[in-house]
């Protein structure tokens, strides 16, 4: 059964400083948690709503995304879903998934997309027009290349860009303000970036999530999704390079920003 997109509820539970556990549901009694890096904040959030946890979706094995799984499994018996390719490094999985799989998770249909780069087993989850991207894509940024080559990550980001522009992007970290600073350093006269500055600072001061973002906004603002734009490349002095080379250089620069 395909979920009417408007009826998907998505909420953020902030954990561990700058992670978000995204909680989604088609009704407000039974939630799915994406990347619960910590259990306490998630169970307190569910308790406040009188809701339970039916499933846990994992994008990759890093502890800030999986640290809460064992406790939440014990408490709620939630079914755990993660990449088949990474099953040995993930907590014990109830469903091991791969590219193209479509799972019925409660009343929602969840599509699995493999996006190697940050880790080789990284997967992301599409639920209606919501896309839970873990550490592959951030607002105005992308994940660090712990395991994949720049070419592999670039290809994963290309795959995401084939989805509809209205896709809502839910990354696992609040890195927006720093990423905005990096984007603005590359392109100090970008009016779209300048227009965002005040809003981001206010949200930062109030601990308000800057997410989700949309694919349309990221195509416009995110330097890592603009490597095929020759005008942008020229502005940042990389016009002679291929998009993949531009991506590699930008990712390296971001590591030192
Ligand atoms: Zn990670
Ligand atoms: Fe992370």
User: Per-residue pLDDT tens for 124-151?
Assistant: 999 999 999 999 999 999 999 999 999 9
Residues 97, 188: one domain?
no
Q: Which ligand is nearest to the CA of 145?
A: 1
- Determine the distance separating the centroid of ligand 2 and the alpha carbon of 242, expressed in angstroms: 28
- Non-local (6+) Cβ contacts of 50 within 8 A are 29
DSSP 168-202: EEEESB--HHHHHHHHHHH-TT-HHHHHHHHHHHH
∠ CA 161-167-170, nearest 5°, is 95
241 assigned to some structural domain: yes
- Determine the distance separating the centroid of ligand 2 and the alpha carbon of 143, expressed in angstroms: 8
Residue range 62-77: mean pLDDT, rounded = 98
4 assigned to some structural domain: no
Is this model's pTM higher than 0.75 or not? yes
1 assigned to some structural domain: no
Residues 102, 124: one domain?
yes
Tokens 């193209």, located at residue: 100
d(CA 138, CA 121): 18
User: Per-residue pLDDT tens for 6-33?
Assistant: 589 999 999 999 999 999 999 879 999 9
Residues 102, 47: one domain?
yes
Residues 26, 76: one domain?
yes
d(CA 123, CA 132): 9
Residues 121, 145: one domain?
yes
Q: Domain range for residue 246?
A: 176-255
Point out the residues that are catalytic.
60, 62, 64-65, 118, 135, 173
5 assigned to some structural domain: no
User: Per-residue pLDDT tens for 160-206?
Assistant: 999 999 999 999 999 999 999 999 999 999 999 999 999 999 999 99
Report how many domains make up the chain. Answer: 2
Q: First vs last Cα of the chain: how many Å apart? A: 45
DSSP 120-131: TT-EEEEETTEE
Residues 181, 167: one domain?
no
2 assigned to some structural domain: no
């Amino acid at each position: 059964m395909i979920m009417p997109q408007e009826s998907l509820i998505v909420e953020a539970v902030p954990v561990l400083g700058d992670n978000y556990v995204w909680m989604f549901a088609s009704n407000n009694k039974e939630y799915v948690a994406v990347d619960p890096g910590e259990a306490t904040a998630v169970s307190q959030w569910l308790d406040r709503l009188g809701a339970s946890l039916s499933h846990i979706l994992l994008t990759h094995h890093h502890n800030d995304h999986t640290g809460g799984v064992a406790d939440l499994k014990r408490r709620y018996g939630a079914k755990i879903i993660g990449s088949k390719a990474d099953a040995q490094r993930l907590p014990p999985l109830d469903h091991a998934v791969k590219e193209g799989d479509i799972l019925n998770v409660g009343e929602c249909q969840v599509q699995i997309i493999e996006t190697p780069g940050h880790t080789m087993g990284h997967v992301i989850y599409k639920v209606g027009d919501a896309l839970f991207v873990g550490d592959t894509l951030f607002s105005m940024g992308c994940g660090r290349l712990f395991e994949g080559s720049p070419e592999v990550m670039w290809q994963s980001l290309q795959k995401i860009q084939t989805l509809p522009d209205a896709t809502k992007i839910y990354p696992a970290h609040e890195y927006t303000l720093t990423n905005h600073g990096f984007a603005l350093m590359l392109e100090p006269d970008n009016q779209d970036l300048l227009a965002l500055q005040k809003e981001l600072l206010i949200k930062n001061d109030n601990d308000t999530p800057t997410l989700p973002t949309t694919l349309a906004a990221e195509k416009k603002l995110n330097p890592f999704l603009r490597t095929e734009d020759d005008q942008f490349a020229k502005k940042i002095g990389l016009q002679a390079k291929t998009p993949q080379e531009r991506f590699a250089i930008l990712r390296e620069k971001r590591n030192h920003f």
